[in-house]
A = this chain, B = another copy of it.
């Protein structure tokens, strides 16, 4: 499992002037999408790593249904991303750092309740590395 989170951490490091977050989508043990946060770069509030990865996977599969897919993301998804993940039918989400401000898969709220979703969620994967990414960014830009 850690190899995919390592992939996500590496992806996060491409975020440039954006808050470093990386997300990868895995189907049958293969990475089919890998994206980083590009909100500032693209001037697009929806361009969080998770949304971009979902769009990339959907395009590759020519299908918005990602049943059976796993997402590995360095930060707990916000409400926007958690909703998109649940609606895309991704089966499992593994995240690194918990988001105590905007986390929508347990950190602050759990949107699975509203959507009556069976999405499997596990946080705290490579938590220290994922938190360090964010802390380093805020030390440089805070």
Q: Which A residues are within 8 Å of any B CB, using their own CB?
A: 39-40, 43-46, 51, 54-55, 58-59, 62-64, 78-84, 87-88, 102, 104, 108-109, 111, 114-115
Contacts and interface: CB of A to CB of B under 8 A. Distances in A.
Most buried by B among A40, A46, A62: A46
Number of copies: 2
Contacts of A87: 45, 80
Contacts of A45: 54, 58, 64, 84, 87-88
Contact of A102 (B39, B62, B104, B115): B115
A131 B81 CA distance: 27
A33 B62 CA distance: 26
A77 to B, nearest CB: 10
B84 A114 contact: no
Contact of A83 (B40, B58, B80, B114): B80
Contacts of A111: 79
